[in-house]
Amino acid sequence: MLSLHELIGQIPHLALHAKSSFQTLLDEAKSTSLYVDTIVADDWLFGIREMLEDRERPHQGDLGVTVLIEYTYLQELRKICLANVVPPILIISPSPHYANEELRKISTGLSKWLTLQYANQLFNQSFRDLNEVIYYTADIRDERQLIRKISNPDLIWEEGQSLERKIELKLFAAEGGLNISGFPPELATSSPASSLIIHEMAGFDVLAQQYVDDEILNLDPRVSPYHWDGYLWSLSHQAVFIKEDQIPRFKEETAIARILDLPDMEWLGNIPTEKLIELRAQGRMEEMRSIIRDSNKRLKYEDPQNFLALAAEIKSDLETSLRKHKAELKSSVRKDRWRIGAEITGFIVSGSITAASTAVPLLAIPAAIIGLGSGVGSIKDIIKQVRRSRERKAELPNRPIGILWDAYQRKKT
């Protein structure tokens, strides 16, 4: 009998592997599944079970609160996980590398190697191992000294107008991460450089685990927004493990998933889960995919550095389709009103029905009158026009582009 991981590796549809917190997974699954068939996500609670069992671990209470919050969000994922659709939208599975000690050694070794390369570039040093990094950063006692030591500010991956602001945000994130990881949070104040490096090492550990797991599951990664910059940076270093003359590139579906995750696209999370499941059950996702297919083809030839320009293009393509849908809605309403108005006017002019009778609901007009029309159609035709108009009004919002339009209208301003 095939194992769960072997079965996942045989999924014949477009699928991506995610290592996301349950707190963000629902919105990520909604947006990603508009283009990709299946998202395979790590069971985050399974992954931290060893930390939960470590009674000697500091700040165990903080981790317990985090687990309760994650479990609450996991309950919200039940509907999309258990949806009766083929292929499945979301599969939550234990990470393969947690079940195999040798695989964990590989991912740990890769994350340490990436951390060493990162520290060398960040501080413009030639550290030979992580011990040298630890000794070096331990002497950096405050943020001002840290800023002076940084040689490559582009490696501080945070949103901010200045390096000072980016460092502030990075250290804030690092302090929270240290609490959960078990490292003493005092590192954030006693040695901000050490805190920063440990925080980045944790991020590289997630990426390294994903690289290993993706090989086992035969999937491409769905990279979380917070790890995206680290992922792009790590791509340029993977050539060491592959071929020196090979330039690694992100996969097309991985890039599309990230584009649908950008802040300008966060309104995709407004799509109701029920609507998403309904579209998938009816096999009606092709319309959405076709919107960005032409742009998707370009991803095969794009350098990772051009990602943001391509993201802007795809965003523009999507918004153009939404504006076109809005225009179609208005045009459809105008045409229906014109047709129905013309039919009724024809009756009035022809004398087949008096002007006074237009105030009477159509369905209440005596059957003896229905069918009169003097060559301009019958009242039955008008009733059919009204019904068709109502059907079109009900259908348009339920098309994939209509559902997107409704979510777009409700986006945060």
What pLDDT digit, counting tens, does each position of 107-117 carry?
A: 888 888 999 99
Q: What's the confidence (pLDDT) of residue 312? A: 76
Residue 352 included in any domain: yes
- pLDDT, tens digit (0-9, with 9 covering 90-100), for 36-66: 889 999 988 776 766 665 555 555 556 677 7
Residue 201 included in any domain: yes
H/E element holding 8? helix 4-9
Residue 164 included in any domain: yes
Residue 161 included in any domain: yes
Residue 77 included in any domain: no
Q: Is 49 left (phi over 0), alpha (psi -120 to 50) or beta?
A: alpha
Interatomic CA distance for residues 276 and 31, integer angstroms: 10
The structural domain count of the chain equals 2
Amino acid at 387: R
Q: What is the mean pLDDT of the chain?
A: 75
Residue 399 included in any domain: yes
Domain boundary among 200, 218, 236: 218
Q: What's the confidence (pLDDT) of residue 361? A: 47
User: Domain range spanning residue 344?
Assistant: 328-409
Q: What are phi and psi of 248, to 5 degrees?
A: -65, 145
Domain boundary among 218, 251, 280: 218
Residue 23 included in any domain: no
Q: Where are the alpha helices (DSSP H) in 22-100?
A: 22-32, 44-47, 49-53, 60-76, 78-81
Domain boundary among 218, 234, 266: 218
- 298: exposed, middle or buried (Cβ count in 10 Å: 0-12, 13-18, 19+): middle
Stated pTM of the model: 0.75
Q: What are phi and psi of 15, to 5 degrees?
A: -145, 145
Token pair, residue 194, equals 């050490």
Sequential DSSP letters for 187-242: HHHH-HHHHHHHHHHHHHHHHHHHHHHHHHHT-EEE--GGGHHHHHHHHTTGGGTS
Which tops the pLDDT comparison, 127 or 391?
127
**For range 189-213, the mean pLDDT:** 87
Residue 405 included in any domain: yes
Give the range with max mean pLDDT: 124-133, 250-259, 271-280, 339-348. 124-133
